[in-house]
Amino acid sequence: MNQLKFSQMLLEGGYVVLPVQLLEKIQSLNLTPENLGYLVLALAKCQSPVGTEELAKDKWVKWCLSEGWAQWQKQGDGKIISFTPLWTRLYSLYEDSAERKEESRTQKVGEFDYGKILKWLDCERGTLSITLREKQVIQEFNLKYGWSTEFLMIFLQLAFERGLNQVYTYQPVAKRVYENGIDCVNDLVSFMNELDWVQYKVTEVKKCIGQYGGVTRPQREMYLKWNKQWKLSHELIIRASAETVRTNSPSFKYIDAILKDWYEKGVQDVQAAEQMIAAHDTIRSPQRKPENTPKRLSKAGNRDLDKLYGLE
């Protein structure tokens, strides 16, 4: 089919324009995706050249009227359907959001309880593990994002429940929360529940080994095997990913081999993994001094790891 004719055919009946804000606020408006579809159908019907009687019989228009999203409005000698109630409620949400943002911006730093959050982090992790970087990030959430103590603690709790308890894992999520204009607890909970966490975590693994682009089904299924079937934490998976970067061929196949070896040997946390890595490095190169940052292995060292994880 000719593309121009196809485009003309699509648009010849007119089209319905919806603001993106309406799509993003359907939960706050208590609209289900199905209800949103009813609204679109009613808007389309009201744009078509039909009479008042036909509009009054349309089931989608009747639904909008009964639910309070639209109303009859007199215009000249006749009546039309007006969606003013819908736009009024959307505007009310906008005003509430603007007020909350303004309150957040004017919040004084002295009112933010850093100590409360740091104490909660220590209790949650069971160790005094707060780094300077983490303190800086928490300050950023308050100073740049305008988050209150309570809002930030709820965010951290929701992130931790999903296995994101390190700065490099929860900071990108916090940025997305802020960029989406989420500033109340209900919207935050909804946003965190709707995130595709498997997709997000696989993307983190890909970035760790220098791969970008979309997540494939095999990559997703492999991650689910590691995380759900073998019960390995996201932090341990990330550590295995970092280990493959020392080789000449970082890949999901390599990560899988490392994690399989750790799983069969009962490695359940990053500390135990570090001990295994250190022990292997000592056996492979007794004279080598410990280094803080892993370096890419030589071809000989790479073959050693290939042999260790059964990739030869």
Q: What is the pLDDT of residues 89-140, one digit of tens each?
A: 888 887 777 666 655 554 444 477 888 888 888 888 776 667 888 888 888 8
Is residue 100, in this structure, part of any structural domain at all? no
Is residue 167, in this structure, part of any structural domain at all? yes
Query: 147-155: which pairs have CB atoms within 8 A and are 24 or more residues apart?
Result: 147/104, 147/183, 148/104, 148/107, 148/112, 149/112, 149/113, 149/116, 149/117, 151/183, 151/185, 151/188, 152/117, 153/116, 153/117, 153/120, 154/185, 154/188, 154/189, 155/188, 155/192
Claim to verify: residue 220 and residue 179 sit in the same structural domain: no
195, 229, 246 — which closes off a domain? 195
Is residue 159, in this structure, part of any structural domain at all? yes
Is residue 101, in this structure, part of any structural domain at all? no
Walk along the chain (312 residues) and give the pLDDT tens digit of each residue: 577 777 777 777 777 778 887 887 887 888 888 888 888 898 888 888 888 888 888 999 999 999 899 998 887 777 888 888 888 888 888 777 766 665 555 444 447 788 888 888 888 877 666 788 888 888 889 888 989 899 999 999 998 888 777 787 788 889 989 988 888 998 899 888 877 778 888 988 998 898 888 888 899 899 999 998 999 998 999 999 998 887 777 899 999 999 999 999 999 899 999 998 888 777 766 555 555 555 555 555 555 556 656 665
Claim to verify: residue 190 and residue 239 sit in the same structural domain: no
pLDDT at 27: 79
Of 33, 13, 11, 15, nearest to 24 (Cα)? 33
With H, G, I as helix, E, B as strand and everything else as coil, classify residue 71: strand
With H, G, I as helix, E, B as strand and everything else as coil, classify residue 250: coil
pLDDT at 22: 80
Is residue 102, in this structure, part of any structural domain at all? no
**Distance from C-alpha of 35 to C-alpha of 24, rounded to nearest angstrom:** 14
Contact 85, 71 (CB under 8 A): yes
Is residue 124, in this structure, part of any structural domain at all? yes
Is residue 248, in this structure, part of any structural domain at all? yes
Claim to verify: residue 44 and residue 15 sit in the same structural domain: yes
Claim to verify: residue 224 and residue 151 sit in the same structural domain: no
Angle formed by the axes of helices 270-284 and 299-308, to 10°? 130
Could you give phi then psi for residue 182, rounded to 5 degrees? -85, 120
Claim to verify: residue 131 and residue 164 sit in the same structural domain: yes
Is residue 200, in this structure, part of any structural domain at all? no
List 73's β-bridge partners, or say none.
80
The alpha carbon of residue 96 and the mean position of all alpha carbons in its chain are separated, in whole angstroms, by 24
**What is the model's pTM?**
0.44
How many of the other CB atoms lie within 10 Å of CB of 183? 22
Claim to verify: residue 236 and residue 301 sit in the same structural domain: yes
Structural domain including 38 reads: 3-89
Structurally, the chain folds into a number of domains equal to 3
Average pLDDT, the chain: 81
